[in-house]
Amino acid sequence: MLEIKKIEEEYKCSKCNSIGAQVSEVAMTGTGLSRLFDIQHNEFLFISCKHCGFTEVFNLHILDKRPKSFLMDILIGN
């Protein structure tokens, strides 16, 4: 499980080297059926530097070992 507060306090910007960030979690649909049924299975973490605004995007399925979709979550009982 990610500790968002810790990331916000300890993040060091790779562009300006300042410390501190704003973190946002975003879910998006994909293409095809997921878009048609508004299934938001793509999850990302946006980390923005509080000083310069530089933003990095991380895939939560890789970063936090989350299942690819809620259907997988139901099927495997995670």
pLDDT value at 21 more than 90: yes
Mean of the per-residue pLDDT values of the chain: 76
pLDDT category, 32, cuts 50, 70, 90? low
pLDDT at 74: 39
Q: Kindly tell me if the per-residue pLDDT of 33 is higher than 60.
A: no
Distance CA 37, CA 44 (A): 20
Element (DSSP H or E) covering residue 22: strand 21-28
Look at the chain and report how many structural domains it folds into.
1
Sign of CA dihedral 27, 66, 34, 74: negative
55-70 pLDDT per residue, tens: 999 888 787 665 555 4
Tokens representing 77 are 């009982």
Total-model pTM: 0.68
**Which band of pLDDT confidence, cut at 50, 70 and 90, is reported for residue 10?**
very high
Domain, as residue range, for 66:
4-76
